[in-house]
């Protein structure tokens, strides 16, 4: 029963409102004489009717365009209701009525103007409010998936290396990538024209004329051995991660930029035994307990004796043979893989940092992070570290 009832009550109401309006509009289009108004006493009721109509119509001005139409309907200069009243009622009014009509017209004009202005403000505010509603965040919408970045494999491996050395008492220091020849070479016991400089034939910076000394991109992290010992007295136990640069042509195992971790331990009683024990501990922690290690004699100007440190081949388990029966391609059948250079610090180096070689001893090592990462994760091309192809990076989240 609700529905027919609702309809039957609503319909006549709408009809009645419409009739009232039409009547009022029609009235302003007629003269007072035609409306049979001759007494001043009749005037207030006439205006009250107009005002009632205005007050109910103003509610329909809900947005900017309906507000404009409404304003023109009432204040339009030619055919607005107030203009019609002026033309049809005021101007032709008899002297007897003119005063009353004039007064009422002034009052209703003030009311109409101020109400329309108020309405403009509230329509504008309403528009702003609904624009706000449009921009409001809808918390029920499904979320936007933003993929998180992760550490580059080089950074992850560096972190592993740092953790291992920090756990046995080393601290981490970093140094400049732009070096002087003194730190990169001379203080490491590599004088000018020493043949090992050929390997490190390197990048020099173009400096203004009269610059006090040449500068180069460091070719290894070893200069930080010197800088550290200049600043600290023994005991010294540091590792130095960082980027290094060499004039190498890019291929699967060479890059003109790569990463090293330098290590240095100097104290009053460090022996070769401490050295091998530290390195073996590191390798077992890094690759796992199964790997074997060995030293081979080698040469570096800043260590004496110098060694090349090898691990049993991680790919063939040290057997030297591949799964198909042939020689393992990674270690070329030898069962060993060269890992990094190291040695006991050459007493000549202590001379550059004013340590007394009779009182101190120590060891140093320098390993390529890229190389360690390639061995541990079976990567056969160093270039992938620098290409930043996400298909590669995503394999190491
Ligand atoms: N600086 C050497 C290089 O880049 C690596 C190295 C070898 C560092 C022996 C050392 C070391 O500290 O003792 O080839």
C-alpha of residue 78 to centroid of ligand 1, in Å: 98
Ligand 1, residues 217, 341, 348, 372: which to mutate, most atoms within 8 A of Cβ? 341
pLDDT in tens, 53-68: 999 888 888 888 889 9
Q: Is 245 in the pocket of ligand 1 (CB under 6 A)?
A: no
Q: Is 202 in the pocket of ligand 1 (CB under 6 A)?
A: no
Q: How far apart are CA 78 and CA 30, in angstroms?
A: 15
- Residue 354: predicted pLDDT: 95
Per-residue pLDDT of the chain (397 residues; tens, 9 = 90+): 344 443 444 444 443 444 445 665 678 888 898 888 889 999 999 999 999 999 988 888 888 888 999 999 999 998 899 999 999 999 998 898 899 999 999 999 999 999 999 999 988 888 777 777 777 888 888 888 888 889 999 999 999 999 999 999 999 999 999 999 999 999 999 988 888 888 787 899 999 999 999 999 999 999 999 999 999 999 999 999 999 999 988 888 889 999 999 999 999 999 999 999 999 999 999 999 888 999 999 999 999 999 999 999 888 888 899 888 889 888 889 999 888 999 999 999 999 999 999 999 999 999 999 999 998 998 988 999 999 899 999 999 8
C-alpha of residue 221 to centroid of ligand 1, in Å: 8
Ligand 1: residue whose CA is nearest its atom 5? 366
The structural domains of the chain, with segments of one domain joined by +, span 2-135, 153-393
Nearest in space to 338 (alpha carbons), one of 311, 318, 315 = 311
Q: Is 342 in the pocket of ligand 1 (CB under 6 A)?
A: yes
Token pair 């890992």 is found at 339
Query: Ligand 1, closest atom to CA 303?
Result: 13
Nearest in space to 384 (alpha carbons), one of 242, 255, 220, 261 = 255
- Could you tell me where the beta strands, DSSP code E, fall in 116-256? 171-172, 178-179, 216-217, 236-245
Ligand 1, residues 216, 222, 241: which to mutate, most atoms within 8 A of Cβ? 222
**The length of the chain, given as a count of residues:** 397
Q: How far apart are CA 206 and CA 208, in angstroms?
A: 7
C-alpha of residue 189 to centroid of ligand 1, in Å: 12
Q: Is 328 in the pocket of ligand 1 (CB under 6 A)?
A: no
- Residue 8: predicted pLDDT: 41
CA angle at residue 94 from 89 to 97, to 5 degrees? 70
**35: CB partners within 8 A, 6+ apart:** 27, 46
Indicate the fold that domain 153-393 takes in CATH: BirA Bifunctional Protein; domain 2 (3.30.930)
Q: Is 184 in the pocket of ligand 1 (CB under 6 A)?
A: no
Q: Is 218 in the pocket of ligand 1 (CB under 6 A)?
A: no
Q: How far apart are CA 225 and CA 229, in angstroms?
A: 6
For 27, the token pair is: 């009235």
For 137, the token pair is: 């965040």
What sign has the CA pseudo-torsion 192, 201, 366, 155?
Answer: positive
- Residue 139: predicted pLDDT: 84
Query: Ligand 1, closest atom to CA 222?
Result: 1
- Residue 126: predicted pLDDT: 83
Q: Is 343 in the pocket of ligand 1 (CB under 6 A)?
A: yes
User: How many whole angstroms from its chain centre is CA 373?
Assistant: 27
Q: Is 366 in the pocket of ligand 1 (CB under 6 A)?
A: yes
For 156, the token pair is: 């992850």
For 301, the token pair is: 């100007």
**261: CB partners within 8 A, 6+ apart:** 158, 161, 162, 221, 239, 240, 241, 366, 367, 369
Q: Is 370 in the pocket of ligand 1 (CB under 6 A)?
A: no
- Residue 9: predicted pLDDT: 41
Contact 36, 97 (CB under 8 A): no
For 84, the token pair is: 């019609």
Q: Is 300 in the pocket of ligand 1 (CB under 6 A)?
A: yes
C-alpha of residue 66 to centroid of ligand 1, in Å: 84
Ligand 1, residues 342, 347, 363: which to mutate, most atoms within 8 A of Cβ? 342
User: Residue 305: is the preceding peptide bond cis (ω within 30°)?
Assistant: yes
């Amino acid at each position: 029963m609700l529905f027919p009832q609702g309809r039957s009550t609503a319909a006549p109401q709408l009809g009645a409102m419409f009739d009232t309006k039409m009547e009022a509009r029609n009235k302003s289009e007629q003269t007072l004489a035609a409306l049979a108004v001759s007494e001043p006493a009749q005037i207030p009721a006439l205006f009250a009717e107009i005002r009632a109509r205005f007050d109910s119509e103003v509610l329909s001005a809900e947005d900017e365009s309906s507000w404009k139409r409404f304003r023109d309907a009432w204040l339009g200069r030619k055919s607005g209701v107030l203009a019609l009243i002026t033309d049809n009622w005021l101007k032709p009014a008899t002297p007897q009525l003119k005063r009353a009509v004039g007064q009422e017209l002034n009052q209703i004009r003030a009311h109409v103007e101020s109400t329309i202005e108020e309405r403009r403000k509230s329509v504008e505010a309403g528009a702003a409010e609904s624009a706000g509603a449009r921009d409001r965040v809808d918390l029920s919408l499904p979320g936007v998936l933003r993929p998180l970045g992760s550490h580059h494999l080089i950074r992850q491996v560096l972190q592993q290396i740092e953790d291992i050395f920090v756990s046995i008492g080393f601290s981490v220091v970093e140094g400049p990538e732009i070096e002087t020849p003194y730190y990169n070479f001379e203080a490491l016991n590599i004088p000018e024209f020493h043949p090992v400089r050929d390997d490190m034939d390197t990048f020099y910076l173009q400096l203004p004329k009269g610059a006090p000394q040449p500068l180069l991109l460091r070719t290894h992290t070893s200069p930080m051995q010197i800088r550290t010992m200049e600043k600290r007295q023994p005991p010294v136990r540091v590792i130095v991660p960082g980027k290094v640069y060499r004039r190498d042509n890019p291929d699967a195992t060479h890059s003109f930029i790569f990463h090293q971790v330098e290590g240095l331990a100097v104290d009053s009683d460090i022996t070769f035994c401490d050295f091998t024990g530290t390195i073996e501990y590191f390798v077992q922690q890094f690759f796992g307990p199964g790997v074997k290690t060995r030293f081979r004699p080698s040469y570096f100007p800043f260590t004496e004796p110098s060694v090349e440190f090898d691990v049993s081949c991680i790919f063939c388990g040290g057997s030297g043979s591949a799964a198909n029966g042939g020689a393992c391609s990674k270690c070329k059948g030898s069962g060993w893989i060269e890992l990094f250079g190291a040695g006991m610090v050459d007493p000549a180096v202590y001379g550059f940092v004013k340590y007394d070689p009779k009182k101190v001893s120590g060891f140093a090592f320098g390993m390529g992070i890229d190389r360690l990462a390639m061995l541990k994760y079976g990567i056969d091309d160093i270039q992938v570290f620098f290409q930043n192809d996400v298909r590669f990076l995503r394999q190491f989240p």
